Amino acid sequence: MTTTSAVDIAVLGAGPYGLSLAAHLGPTHRSVKVFGQTMSFWRDHMPKGMCLKSDGFASSLSAPGEGFTLQAWSKAQGLPYADMGLPVPLETFCDYAEAFQRRLVPDVDPRLVRSVQHEGDHFALTLPDGSTLQARRVVVATGIQPFAHVPEALRALPASHVSHSSDHTDLSRFAGRHVAVLGGGASAGDTAGLLQVGGARAELVSRHPVRFHNPPGGPRSLAQRVRKPDSGLGPGWKSFLCTHFPLIFHAMPESLRLRAVARHLGPAPGWFVRDQVVGKLPVHTGWQLRTAQLEGDQVTLDFLAGDGSRQQLRVDHVIAATGYRNDLDQLGFLAPSLRERIRTVARTPVLDRNFQSSVPGLYFAGAIAANSFGPLLRFAYGADFTARRLARALA
């Protein structure tokens, strides 16, 4: 038997964006329902032992008033913390965010919404047990996990021999095995380094040079800070403008916005990963994957190298640390009739200044909103701007 209930706002997602928004809605809105598994992307799709690339000060969730910052929580727990220069372990970040959820958003419903349909002046949400919920407004903050990208050449291989970096939390199962990691960004650096530390024989293969972040130096002079101001996305004027003026970004011409999102803050492992990778395992750069074939119990990978030569690797397993590609069509819980009505650009929803899509009452937050508000929205740091603005708009 199905049951139906009704709320004003349904928030889909209990990651940094969904939780921050819910914390801001909390005191003013009694009719809010938050769905999702708290921090599931971070707990279930990132490798144990990883550290965050974002600085300590840029890794807090957002809450009204004094907030509930990573710094304050770490201090209360007796854990080491620094605004910059001390990487935040993944485990610490997840524990912090879960404490945030327990304190500020205690009523998260862990069910994943199976479908969202638009019916007249409301949305109908169907849950896994078949029950339904009516919501006047829906905020989609479901993150990037459905957008995991695996290169075409690898897609025909069986899951026993190829996987995406987001498929792994515990890399120790590869101990003693030969693994190729494809990619040149944070996931690739983390995965290759942790595989090697865990006793696997890892090789990192990237189309482009691997550009590790620079380690933060000591205190910087005024002149240095003027030349490259600090920001929650790292030092530099572009990042500074992105963090401080997302609404100006929103007002820029569409083509400029898309170019900026595609180009700014490209793939790069954290500075602290360099020591686990450089000199510790083979790193092949300028290699472009051509074909991949299962031969016996191994995979043969063929590459075209930057000098035009052909290169080959035979490995036990390939991990595609090849990132995520936003694509609204991959959000299978949005009913096709609803998806069709959402105006898109580059496969992402076109959003107004309040995160609302072309379907009134349907909002999007997080990385899928980056083409509207800039690269800030790809990081937890963007949750503060988003939660404050969206909560005001919804109030």
Ligand X SMILES: Cc1cc2nc3c(=O)[nH]c(=O)nc-3n(C[C@H](O)[C@H](O)[C@H](O)COP(=O)(O)OP(=O)(O)OC[C@H]3O[C@@H](n4cnc5c(N)ncnc54)[C@H](O)[C@@H]3O)c2cc1C
Give residues 237-266 in contact with ligand X (rule: CB under 6 A). none
Question: Measured from the CB atom, is 190 or 203 closer to ligand X?
Answer: 190
Question: Measured from the CB atom, is 235 or 313 closer to ligand X?
Answer: 235
- Which residue, among 356, 331, 360, 353, has the nearest Cα to 143 in the 3D structure? 331
| Shortest distance (Å) from residue 42 CB to ligand X | 6
Question: Measured from the CB atom, is 57 or 333 closer to ligand X?
Answer: 333
Are 151 and 320 within 8 A, CB to CB?
Answer: yes
Residue 53 engages ligand X in binding (rule: CB under 6 A): yes
Residue 184 engages ligand X in binding (rule: CB under 6 A): no
Q: What is the DSSP letter of 334?
A: B
Among 181, 260, 313, 380, binds ligand X (CB under 6 A): 380
Paired residues of 289 in beta bridges: 303
Residue 15 engages ligand X in binding (rule: CB under 6 A): yes
Among 7, 61, 104, 113, binds ligand X (CB under 6 A): 113
Residue 36 engages ligand X in binding (rule: CB under 6 A): yes
Helix, strand, coil % over all residues of the chain, rounded to 5: 35, 25, 45
- Which residue, among 199, 146, 134, has the nearest Cα to 173 in the 3D structure? 199
Among 16, 56, 267, 374, binds ligand X (CB under 6 A): 16
Are 10 and 134 within 8 A, CB to CB?
Answer: no
Taking each helix axis from N to C terminus, what angle separates 70-77 and 90-104, rounded to the nearest 10 degrees?
100
| Shortest distance (Å) from residue 272 CB to ligand X | 11
Q: Count CA atoms closer than 13 A to 379's CA, side-chain side.
A: 24
Q: How far apart (Å, rounded) are the C-alpha atoms in residues 238 and 227?
A: 11
Are 324 and 149 within 8 A, CB to CB?
Answer: yes
User: Strand ranges (DSSP E) for the chain?
Assistant: 4-12, 32-35, 115-119, 122-126, 132-140, 162-164, 178-182, 201-206, 283-285, 288-295, 298-304, 310-315, 317-320, 344-345, 348-349, 362-364
Q: What is the DSSP letter of 60?
A: P
Give residues 158-177 in contact with ligand X (rule: CB under 6 A). none
Among 13, 246, 269, 349, binds ligand X (CB under 6 A): 13
Both tokens assigned to 353: 């200044």
User: Strand ranges (DSSP E) for 88-217?
Assistant: 115-119, 122-126, 132-140, 162-164, 178-182, 201-206
Give residues 128-147 in contact with ligand X (rule: CB under 6 A). 141-145
One character per residue 345-374, x = contact with ligand X (rule: CB under 6 A): ---------------------x--------
Size of the site for ligand X (CB under 6 A): 31
Among 7, 26, 35, 328, binds ligand X (CB under 6 A): 35
Q: What are the distances in angstroms from CA 148 to CA 108, 321, 327?
A: 25, 9, 10
Residue 101 engages ligand X in binding (rule: CB under 6 A): no
Among 52, 202, 313, 342, binds ligand X (CB under 6 A): 52
| Shortest distance (Å) from residue 264 CB to ligand X | 15
Question: Measured from the CB atom, is 42 or 68 closer to ligand X?
Answer: 42
Among 72, 82, 86, 112, binds ligand X (CB under 6 A): 112
Residue 276 engages ligand X in binding (rule: CB under 6 A): no
Residue 183 engages ligand X in binding (rule: CB under 6 A): no
Give residues 186-225 in contact with ligand X (rule: CB under 6 A). 186-187
User: Which residues lie near ligand X (CB under 6 A)?
Assistant: 12-18, 35-37, 40-42, 46, 52-54, 112-113, 141-145, 186-187, 333, 366, 379-381
